[in-house]
Structure 1
Amino acid sequence: MKLVRLRAPGGLDRLELAEEYPPKPGPGDVLVRIRACSLNMRDDFAVQGKTPLADGRVPLSDGAGEVIAVGSGVEALKPGDHVVSVFYPFWLNGDMTPSTRRDVPGDSFDGVASEYVCMPAQAFTKAPDGYTHVEAATLTCTAVTAWRGLVVCGKVKLGDTVLVLGTGSVSLFALQFAKAAGARVIATSSSEEKLERLGRLGADATINYKAVPDWGRAARDLTDGRGVDHVIEVGGPATLAQSITACRTGGHIALIGVLTGFAAEVSIPALFSNQIRINGISIGSRADQEDMIRAIDVNHLKPVIDRRFPLRDIAAAFRHYGAQKHFGKVCLEL
């Protein structure tokens, strides 16, 4: 089988295509023929050497394919099932705990940039009905993050207004989930072309944050001064104050990303006087993923895919991802 191993200390030139024997499933395991993977920011940090990994680690957490064989005791999956990986294989349901956030594929153990992977059965769920493997591979990180932020923690409902920031995949999935829930969506970008595409995806109103620096106030104005019910906050320090401004009294901010850094000054009075609720979101549980997939099936949602690369061109895929000009997921086909 072909697979990719990242040699320490990391860097795109340290991604090596290798050939090895396929693994065999033991008790409780499934052997999956991976057909597609997708890239995320955490993968980019890892392959660039910004987060240290063991020498020779197989990267990537998001993959999809079909079950080839199962070990003894596996009942939930069977050969032939189309499946998608789970980010936290030991976070099955409920709230995260220190013990359930351990062991992430592509980090603490080998990931899915491989034609065959063997993992515990709980490391996969069934893929949405009718999805291609590439479509299914987009879901593990960004879709589940958007789902948990908006639905599980935000409890979005019919008639709510949701503000999504930028055109990253979390924001694009959040836009689709919000529209499926009957919410109104306000979306931001600095690109007029991308704003048009957001409109075609269903955004009810758009704001060019470069042309309108006080975009938090602009979003509030679009709600007749009431403020938005939810913000999918992916920016971090440079955007959080504007997100707080955009929120209604009692509103909700799903704090997801750190695109602009890791520390910020926050107006504490603005938070408590307006009773704004902030949830830190780190992907979601296996049960969250299964619930999301049921919603995808019912609403016939499809992910936005920017570009596909073969496995041998994984470094080129990361260069394309790092250029930050993509709209939708960057994927690998195996």
Structure 2
Amino acid sequence: MKQAVLQSGKGIETLEIREVAMPQPGPGEALVRLQAATLNFRDLIMAKGLIPGIAKEPELVPLSCAAGMVEAVGDGVTRVKAGDRVTPQFTIGWITGAQPTPTMLGGSIDGVAQQYAIYPAESLVLNPDELGDLEAATLACAALTSWSALTGFRPTGPGDWILAHGTGGVSIAALQFAKAMGAQVIVTSSSDAKLSRARSLGADVTVNYRTTPNWAAAIRDAIGGAKITNVIDTVGATQFADNASLLVEGGQLSAIGMLGSEFSWTRQDPRVDLKPIGVGNRDQHEAMLAFIVAHRIKPVVDVVYDLDRIRDAFQMLESGQFFGKVGVNLL
């Protein structure tokens, strides 16, 4: 089988494709034929060493989000069977409640940029027929992070204002989920073309932060004050003060990303309910899937590369010239 490998922290130019033996499942495990994967910004973090010490050393099979089909199961497996369409959890073993382990695909353990892999059967989520493999492959990290931000602490509902920064996988999933929940959504981007696409998905207010440097004031004028109940913060601490100024008293700042600076996790403001978001567990993933099916949500994948061109996929991710998700065909 084919498998992508990189040298952890040494750059995307170290990516290579290898031929390796197909693994076999042991007790409690399932062999999955992975068919599609998608990239997240964290994949650049692992490849480039942006947060030292969190990637498996010295080599790593990258990527954390995939979908495929169960090929075979080991002894004692009842959760899945051969032929089931599945997605491996982002955090292996996180079934319910608080996170018990930092065992994350494409980070502390090998990821999904390979054609076959072994997983604990209990860490597999069954995919609905309504979603294709590529669509299902968008969900384990980015979409589940958005789902957790919108439902895990302060449930989103009709009339709420949600601010989502950027048009990558987390923010576009947040836009789709929040609109289905009845909320009003603001999206920021440096691209008018991307903002147009966001409006086609239901964005109520869009602001180009490049042509409108005082984007916070523009948002406040557009919505009539500080009315935002939840900020999907993919950028980080550099925008903390502006985000805080837009929130209602006690509004939630969902600290998710570091696209522009360090995370916002340690910042404090008495007006802000800051919530670090750590993706989610299997129960939350299944609840998200049910919501997606009920509301007929279609995840957005902008461009897809074959596994042999995974370096090109990383370069597209790094460029930021995409909308939603960058995909990889593993077939």
Tell me what 1:313 maps to. 309
Give 1:260 shift: 1.5
Equivalent position to 1:95, from 90, 93, 98: 98
Deviations 1:239-261 (A, max 9, x none): 11111111112211111111111
Q: How many residues align?
A: 327
Residue 76 of structure 2, aligned match among 47, 70, 73: 73
- Answer yes or no: is 1:40 the counterpart of 2:36: no
The match for 2:113 is 113
After TM superposition, give the deviation of residue 264 of structure 1 in Å. Answer: 6.7
1:241 touches 1:267 (CA, 8 Å); kept in 2?
no
Find the aligned partners of 1:325 and 1:159 in 2 and give their Cα distance.
32
Tell me, yes or no, if the aligned pair for 2:236 and 2:257 is still in contact at 8 Å: yes
Question: Residues 46 and 208 (structure 1 numbering): CA distance in 2 closer, same or farther, change over 3 Å?
Answer: same
**Contact 2:255 2:265 survives alignment (8 Å):** no
Q: TM-score, normalised by structure 2?
A: 0.93
Q: 1:85 to 1:202 in 2, by over 3 A?
A: same
Identify the residue that residue 155 of structure 1 maps to in structure 2.
Answer: 155
Asked if the contact 1:231/1:254 (under 8 Å) is kept, the reply is yes
Structure 2 CA distance, aligned partners of 1:218 and 1:231?
16
> More deviation in 45-54 or 187-196?
45-54
Instruction: Quote the residue 1:302 is aligned against.
Output: 298
Cα offsets for 1:29-76 (capped at 9, x unmatched): 011000011111111122234445323432211111001111122212
- Distance in 1 between residues matched to 2:61 and 2:71, nearest whole Å: 20
Given that 2:265 and 2:274 are in contact with CA atoms closer than 8 Å, whether structure 1 keeps it comes out as no
Q: C-alpha displacement at 1:102, in angstroms?
A: 2.0
Alpha-carbon distance in 2 for matches of 1:264, 1:36: 32
C-alpha displacement at 1:94, in angstroms?
Answer: 1.4
Q: Could you say what the CA RMSD is over the residues aligned between the two structures, in angstroms?
A: 1.9
- Pairwise CA distance, 1:146: 0.3
Residue 280, structure 1, aligned to residue 276, structure 2? yes
Query: Which whole-Å CA distance do the structure 2 matches of 1:9 and 1:164 have between them?
Result: 29
- One-letter code aligned to 2:111: G
CA contact (8 A) 2:233 2:256 kept: yes
Identity %: 39
CA distance in 2, matches of 1:49, 1:228: 34
Aligned pair 1:132/2:132, yes or no? yes
User: Any gaps of 5 or more consecutive residues in structure 2?
Assistant: none
TM-score, with length taken from structure 1: 0.92
**Aligned residue number for residue 180 of structure 2:** 180
Contact 2:91 2:103 survives alignment (8 Å): yes
Structure 1 residue 95: Cα displacement: 2.2
User: Which residue of 2 is the match for residue 218 of structure 1?
Assistant: 218
Q: Give the alignment partner of residue 86 of structure 1, picking from 73, 81, 89.
A: 89
1:205-254, CA deviations, whole angstroms, 9 ceiling, x for partnerless residues?
Answer: 11122233332233233332242111111111221111111111221111
Counterparts of 1:107 and 1:226, CA distance in 2: 38
- Out of 214-223 and 128-137, give the one that drifted further: 214-223
What is the CA distance between 1:197 and its match in structure 2?
A: 0.9
Amino acid paired to 2:77 = V
Whole-Å separation in 1 of the counterparts to 2:159 and 2:8: 50
